[in-house]
Structure 1
Amino acid sequence: MAAAGEILLNAFFQVLFGRLASRNLLSFVRQLQGGVDSELKNWEKKLKMIRAVLCDAEEKQLTDEAVKMWLDELQDLAYDTEDILDEFATQALESKLMAQNHDSSGEVLSFIPAGLNPNAIMFNYSMGSKIKDITSRLEQLCQERIELGLQRITGEASSTAAAAHLRPPSSSVPTEREVFGREEDKAKILDM
């Protein structure tokens, strides 16, 4: 069970990293005011530090309730981060479509930088508190990671620990050589 949770969170982090490195997202946030670009880079750095200790956290959650709560908070944060990245992607697409529309219609508004567009200013303002919230939660999780003593586990140690949690293989074939109560059937088969 722990290995499945680890795989799920690792996969989710891979998706987040891919979205944080998206060319469309990066070009859009560079146009925004308020250092959004640097905040997203900070998120990526902190998320990588957290991902490095996921194996240890997945193992310790079985015996430590505080680690389990930390993982639950981490999963909530990951979902909230994905929601914000969705909002950025939507706004980036909207801005791109508006720019294409203005270009095709020949309007003067196309000369206004995207960061000074009234819609972009409102978006930037509304996203500011969400970005600060994610950043503070991320910093809190990084601090709790240290307090919980979560360590980076190499791939070999992780696979050994994951193997220890797996059930032994089962089979419908009996492992014992002798089957009781079927002597007559056995004799008939041997006589054939």
Structure 2
Amino acid sequence: MTEVLLSPLVGTILDSLKSWSLKELELLGSLKTEVASLESTLTTIQAVLQDAEGKQWKSEAIKNWLGKLKQAAYDLEAVLEDFNTEAQSRSLHTDARSQVTSFFSLRNPLLFRLDMARKFKNVREKLDAIAGEKKLMRRKR
């Protein structure tokens, strides 16, 4: 039985959420709300991870839960990579001409923020559902 270790991955993701690239993109509105909700959800999950990782070899249900959580963490990591790529791109193209061009392109900053807010919301909802499964497992014991 292969152990699933998520604590380091969740820690890295939490660090990424707080990184300069997110601040660089000037979080506003729903995007700021989604990032804050995601941080809260991940902090809660991180609090129970150590215990769950220690018990996974005894319980197939916990191992299954950790596997789902790991997939959701990878999904979130991909969204954060999109953020980092966009932040780096924006820092390279800061002159007025490129800003006007980007406004009318597919990489419009407003459209990008809306798209990222949607992606964050989807991952957060997935994480919330997984966290809900953990509560159900506790009640069944």
Say yes or no: TM over 0.5. yes
Pairwise CA distance, 1:122:
3.3
Pairwise CA distance, 1:61:
1.9
Structure 2 residue 117 is matched with structure 1 residue 142: no
Structure 2 residue 112 is matched with structure 1 residue 117: no
Give TM-score, length-normalised by structure 1.
0.61
Pairwise CA distance, 1:137:
0.3
The corresponding residue for 1:10 is 7
Alignment of 1:33-182 (within 5 A): 34-99=29-94, 102=95, 107=97, 117-118=103-104, 119=107, 120-149=109-138
The corresponding residue for 1:181 is none
SS at match of 1:62: coil
Structure-2 separation of matches of 1:87 and 1:22: 13
User: Residues 79 and 29 from structure 1, CA distance in 2 versus in 1: closer, same or farther, beyond 3 angstroms?
Assistant: farther
Give TM-score, length-normalised by structure 2.
0.80
> Which consecutive unaligned segments of at least 5 residues does structure 1 have?
151-192
More helix by share: 2
Residues paired across the two proteins, number: 135
Pairwise CA distance, 1:88:
0.7
Structure 2 residue 22 is matched with structure 1 residue 25: yes
- Is 2:4–2:53's contact at 8 Å kept on the other side of the alignment? yes
Structure-1 separation of matches of 2:90 and 2:118: 21
Structure-2 separation of matches of 1:28 and 1:78: 22
Pairwise CA distance, 1:128:
4.2
Pairwise CA distance, 1:78:
0.8
SS at match of 2:25: helix
The corresponding residue for 1:159 is none
Structure-2 separation of matches of 1:38 and 1:140: 18
Deviates more, 1:83-92 or 1:122-131: 122-131
> Which consecutive unaligned segments of at least 5 residues does structure 2 have?
none
Pairwise CA distance, 1:27:
3.0
Q: CA RMSD in A?
A: 2.6
Structure-1 separation of matches of 2:123 and 2:12: 17
Structure-2 separation of matches of 1:25 and 1:10: 22
Q: Percent of aligned positions with the same letter in both sequences? A: 30
- Is 2:17–2:39's contact at 8 Å kept on the other side of the alignment? yes
Structure-2 separation of matches of 1:139 and 1:49: 10
SS at match of 1:63: coil
